[in-house]
Chains A and B, each alone.
Chain A
Amino acid sequence: MILADFGTSYSKFLDLAEAAPQPRILATKELDRNLKVDLATGHNGKRFSQEYVNELIALARGAEALIAEPTYLVLDCGSRDIKYIRYRDGQLLDMGWNAECGASMGFTIELLERYYNLDFRHLPVPAKTFSVTCGVLGISDIFDAITSGDGEAEAVARFVKGIAINAYRFAGSPEKLYLSGGLCDNPLFVQSFPCQVEPLGRFVLLRGLRHILTAKGLESK
């Protein structure tokens, strides 16, 4: 049985038929158009699967499997959108999915790293930030800052910090959050949050799919 999280930029797969299943990543633009997996989530999930689970449910189930505490907030920052789930005492308290105003933030961060030939692993968190509510609109701030004499790296770092702060506020300004998604691998982004952050990595939704199978009795733990 193959599980998959079909994101906007990257797709993540887990083949449960393997002896020791390990997640694999493929660029979504390189997928075979006729591909079909057994169970999927993600923006492109319906196209490529027999059965689809919506992303908020996959995120919630993945968080349930990975986080031992009964009270927590998990925030998923993807290429195209941001979403969060908040639990209190094991009960759903709140959720949000910002697909419009949070549009394309992750995608834009990756685009800027390549365009300006930067390495986010070595950029310090800047003192100042931009007020960014949309990846596309936020680019104007970068251009303005560079025109005003700021270095490219400094301007892009302020943009990344602005995105982290926007995501933090969208999630209700928690004291601590668990972070899901590819941006967990971006230390500049992770360190830009004004709160405690526990990165869970980019396979939380895949873990959620596996958790759903286990709950249905279709796979043992």
Chain B
Amino acid sequence: MRRHASPDSHELQTLLDHHRPRRVGIVGQPPRAMIAELNHRACEILDLDALLVSADMEATITILPRVYCAILRTVVLNALHLELDMICIDTGPGKCDSALYVATILRETLAIPVVTTVNRDAEPCGHPFCRAELDLTEKFLAITSGVKSALPSANPPLPCRPTAGFWGVPPRDFAILAHFPTTTHVYGWSRCLENKTPADLALELHYNPEIPTVFFAQSFCAKTALARHLAGRHPKALYLDLDLHTTSSARAKVQAFLELTGATP
């Protein structure tokens, strides 16, 4: 299993020439060179981190423990139910060790090639949607759909003055985003994702201490430690972790936090 390197250009060409995939599932953000090659070959790319099937999550419990990162459980659920020709999973510092283990398990479970990559891309592509004035759910849809293209956004929106912040990964359940104002800026790994530099720790650590910020992580994810640590340093912060769904108490906490800190009227 490849742990320390992505397939080089020649290996990638050989792999793609041999398997000729049409539908490729990706997990995390594989290197731009790989996405560019998949774009060039007109492959359909499916982001397996996102909710793509409505199947019961219980279908994954023979493969992963119930108490596990909901994003990776979703990856497995998608992989079990979608007709894919290949899966590319980033297992580098821009994703997590758990993705490496899930890649190992999927390789032994599925009949299709499961390729692991280590994305160390450092060329910034910008993060205009993270700073735009736009409904936060729309913002996250734009950011997450960007992983399927090697190119930065063709029509980047203009930045706005922020009144609130959301730090963290794209949540599994976007319902938590509903109460934020359109002037919410996005920070953390989501900003790295739009910037196409998922392993950029300095960018991930950045936040704005002037605006009330929700520091979010998926339950059972290693990023909960960083989210809580940064929330402790920020003068107006709410630390929040969620598992599969947005609970009513989580929704109420976000709503109350935004109202009581003056981020929303």
Tell whether A pairs with B. Answer: yes
Residue from B247, B248, B256, B259 whose CB has the most chain A CB atoms within 10 Å:
B256
With an 8 A cutoff between CB atoms, is A99 at the interface? yes
With an 8 A cutoff between CB atoms, is B249 at the interface? yes
Q: Which residues of B contact A92 (CB under 8 A)?
A: 236, 257, 260-261
Chain A interface: which size bin?
10 to 19
Distance between Cα atoms of A81 and B249 in the complex (Å) = 10
Question: Which residue of B is nearest A99, CB measured?
Answer: B249
B residues 238-260 in Cβ contact with A at 8 Å: 238, 247-249, 252-253, 255-257, 259-260
Chain B interface: which size bin?
10 to 19
Within the complex, the shortest CB–CB distance from B220 to chain A, in Å, comes to 15
With an 8 A cutoff between CB atoms, is A139 at the interface? no
Q: Which residues of A contact B261 (CB under 8 A)?
A: 91-92
Do A60 and B252 contact each other (CB < 8 Å), given the known contacts A92-B236, A95-B238, A99-B247? no
Distance between Cα atoms of A83 and B249 in the complex (Å) = 10
A residues 78-128 in Cβ contact with B at 8 Å: 81, 83, 85, 91-92, 95-100
Question: Which residue of A is nearest B232, CB measured?
Answer: A94
**Do residues A56 and B248 form an inter-chain contact, with CB atoms below 8 A?**
no
Do A54 and B252 contact each other (CB < 8 Å), given the known contacts A92-B257, A95-B257? yes
**Do residues B257 and A97 form an inter-chain contact, with CB atoms below 8 A?**
no
With an 8 A cutoff between CB atoms, is A146 at the interface? no
Question: Which residue of A is nearest B237, CB measured?
Answer: A94
Q: Which residues of B contact A55 (CB under 8 A)?
A: 252
Distance between Cα atoms of A99 and B249 in the complex (Å) = 7
Within the complex, the shortest CB–CB distance from A70 to chain B, in Å, comes to 14
Distance between Cα atoms of A81 and B252 in the complex (Å) = 13
Question: Which residue numbers of B lie inside 8 Å of A, CB to CB?
Answer: 236, 238, 247-249, 252-253, 255-257, 259-261
A-B contact pairs, 21 of them (CB 8 A): A54-B255, A54-B256, A56-B256, A57-B260, A81-B249, A83-B249, A91-B236, A91-B261, A92-B236, A92-B257, A92-B261, A95-B238, A95-B257, A97-B249, A97-B252, A97-B253, A98-B249, A99-B247, A99-B248, A99-B249, A100-B247
Counting from the closest, the 7 A-B pairs by CB-CB distance are: A56-B256, A99-B249, A97-B249, A54-B252, A92-B260, A57-B256, A56-B252
